[in-house]
Structure 1
Amino acid sequence: MKKCQTASLFGGSLLLAIASCSAFAEVRVVTSIKPLQLIAAEIQDGVGEPEVLVPAGSSSHSFSLKPSTVRDIQAADILYWIGPDLENYLAKSITARSGKTVVIQKLPGLHIRHFGEEHEHAEHGHEEPVRSTAVGDDHDDQHRPGSIDAHLWLRPSNALVIAKQMATDLSAADPQNSARYQANFEAFSARLGEQDRRLKNRLAPLAAKPFFVFHQTFDYFEEAYGLNHTGVLAIGGEVRPGARHIAEMRAKLEAAGPSCLFSEPPVRPKLSDTLTSGLPVRFAELDALGYGVTVRAGGYGELITRIGDELAKCLEALNKAGS
């Protein structure tokens, strides 16, 4: 989908305007998931609009490629995907591409976590790292201990590395707009820095508050802001956990006392009410994929801010309830 930018006409002829316009062809950027699309939109702001392969509401772990999706993969000038640790279903189609393909998880300078790692909280005043606890045995192979945690976009410093790579790639593919791409990156960096400082100030007093998640998605975000979930309830897939595992999960919630339990859109697990009946547990939702975020400059910052604000609102409510 090549587009032509509108050229300014200040005394120039129509012929010159058309020639000038034809020199600017939008670089077709396609990303595998929406968070990468949000970052690309920061860099392409005013020049182009990135596309996404996995639509909102679909799981990046189990997405099935359609013929139209394969065509989009082949037609992209630049394709960004996290990598095989999140999107192995893309591997075969990507090898047939002739355009530039960037495997995000291999970018130099990224902070990469592995499942089972401890959170290092020294920068937030903790003397020792804290290890989270998972309950249940139905994690898929992508979450086996030692494997790469591919939810790497949830650490703002990683988003800056990704954005910088995109600015470099787009400048090489479209030199006429190189200054715009670099300016967009600088603006993104400045906005994200302000949002990061605000979230650190808000979340720092809440580091000891207990909360649980249904899926081990947010370790990058937690590490960046000095948080650590109390447990992973590990409900997923089509198989209902056995009675023993349900009892174990409920026991963890009961032992924690007043706590928060976070699910991810679009659907809260059906066992939520059974697990929490009669317990002082508050429900809330964390959106790692930006389902409700508009693709625009500022979109990635909104994604991160929403996660931080939802965490803070629930954990602050625990403070009020205990006072």
Structure 2
Amino acid sequence: MNSRLVRLVLFFCLCLPGLPGPALAADAGAPAHPMQVVVSILPAAYLAERVGGERVRVETLVQPGHNPHTYVPTPLQMARLANARIFFRIGVPFEAALITKLRRTVPDLTIIDLQEGIELLPAEESDEEHHDHRDDLDPHSWLDPNLARLQAERIHAGLVALDPPGRQAYDRNLAELRKDLQEIDRTLRTILAPLAGQTIYVFHPAYGYFCRAYGLKQKAINVQGKETGARHLARLIEEAQREGVRVIFVQPQFSEKTAATIAEAIGGSVVALDPLAYDYLDNLKAMARRIAAARPAGE
């Protein structure tokens, strides 16, 4: 009888609000105030949130629809940067001026380059341009999930350095993310293997790392952020017709006008890809499927 009474008392205690139970044990080590983390773009936010979990609060500067080539942080975002612990940069153009300012105004802010240790591709240039941009590099490395894994490891190292008590949680989160990145890499290889060696026509040259990883080539309509010249446009139309291209890939951060002109000339269509989408894994899979559907093997 006594043992039954003890069990009943324990049951009601666990059901009372405000009393911790076994289900909350996993959250016991989470800090009352998460670390303030800032990133430039949504794919980096995805990686930071996956690695940081409940121990971080991530602020993304470039919101959906905005262009990181021309972006200027808002006053509110600058204020949040002033209160942040760490900023993960990823090489997009607006960061250079921002970081110069941050080093002067927020000297205690930890800044970590997610591209450190990655061999970057040169940025593409139009055949019509002859200025010297040999030092320009393509920042879109996150579109290769194998490179995204390296970036996640950089995030992990940065978080552990500032929050040593969170190491166990960060280790666990990174291990889970690595598995997901390996799985999406296998999925993309399966989807894109039949297209090996083929060329995709894109408005903006954001897919160099993605194409290199999966045996494709990209041909860009717009390079260096400039309007496409008539001669270059005519050559692109001729090449697309010769290669049997039926789809021009666009992205929501840029106007579709020039791409639509080419698509109309070749009797094709425009299809959207978004290299800056937040839902990183599903977005890569969607990109691969759209590319595969637009360019069937053997065409």
Give the TM-score range, shorter chain. Answer: 0.7 to 0.9
Matched, 1:88 2:77: no
- State how 1:197-276 maps to structure 2 within 5 Å: 197-229=186-218, 231-234=219-222, 240-276=227-263
Deviation for aligned residue 1:236: 7.7
* Structure 2 unaligned regions, length at least 5: 1-17, 23-27
Q: Is the 8 A contact 2:86 2:112 kept in 1?
A: yes
| Equivalent position SS for 2:57 | coil
Greater mean deviation of Cα atoms: 172-181 or 20-29: 20-29
Q: 2:233 and 2:291 mapped to 1: Cα distance?
A: 24
Matched, 1:193 2:182: yes
- State how 1:124-163 maps to structure 2 within 5 Å: 134=126, 137=129, 144-163=133-152
Q: Is the 8 A contact 2:146 2:181 kept in 1?
A: no
Deviation for aligned residue 1:187: 0.3
One-letter amino acid matched to 1:311: I
Partner of 1:127: none
Q: 2:239 and 2:267 mapped to 1: Cα distance?
A: 12
Deviation for aligned residue 1:65: 2.7
* Pair member with larger Rg: 2
1:114 to 111, 114, 122: 122
RMSD, matched Cα: 2.9
Deviation for aligned residue 1:209: 3.3
Identity %, equivalent residues = 25
Deviation for aligned residue 1:69: 2.0
Q: Is the 8 A contact 2:203 2:249 kept in 1?
A: yes
Q: Is the 8 A contact 2:203 2:259 kept in 1?
A: no
Matched, 1:100 2:113: no
Partner of 1:311: 291
Q: 1:312 and 1:43 mapped to 2: Cα distance?
A: 31
Matched, 1:302 2:290: no
Deviation for aligned residue 1:201: 1.4
Deviation for aligned residue 1:218: 0.5
Q: Is the 8 A contact 1:257 1:280 kept in 2?
A: no
| Equivalent position SS for 1:196 | helix
Q: Is the 8 A contact 2:120 2:138 kept in 1?
A: yes
2:67 to 55, 59, 69: 59
2:37 to 29, 39, 43: 29
Q: 1:89 and 1:42 mapped to 2: Cα distance?
A: 28
Matched, 1:164 2:147: no
Pair 209,10 (structure 1): closer, same or farther in 2 beyond 3 Å? closer
Deviation for aligned residue 1:304: 2.2
* Structure 1 unaligned regions, length at least 5: 1-6, 12-19, 117-132, 294-298
TM-score (norm 1): 0.75
Greater mean deviation of Cα atoms: 240-249 or 304-313: 240-249
Cα displacement string for residues 180-221 of structure 1 (whole angstroms, at most 9, x for unaligned residues)? 111000000001111111110110111233421111111011
Cα displacement string for residues 89-134 of structure 1 (whole angstroms, at most 9, x for unaligned residues)? 31222213212111223x23x2322235xxxxxxxxxxxxxxxx95
Q: 2:270 and 2:222 mapped to 1: Cα distance?
A: 16
Deviation for aligned residue 1:235: 6.7
Pair 274,10 (structure 1): closer, same or farther in 2 beyond 3 Å? closer
Matched, 1:9 2:20: yes
TM-score (norm 2): 0.81
| Equivalent position SS for 1:28 | strand
Q: 1:184 and 1:70 mapped to 2: Cα distance?
A: 29
Deviation for aligned residue 1:242: 4.2
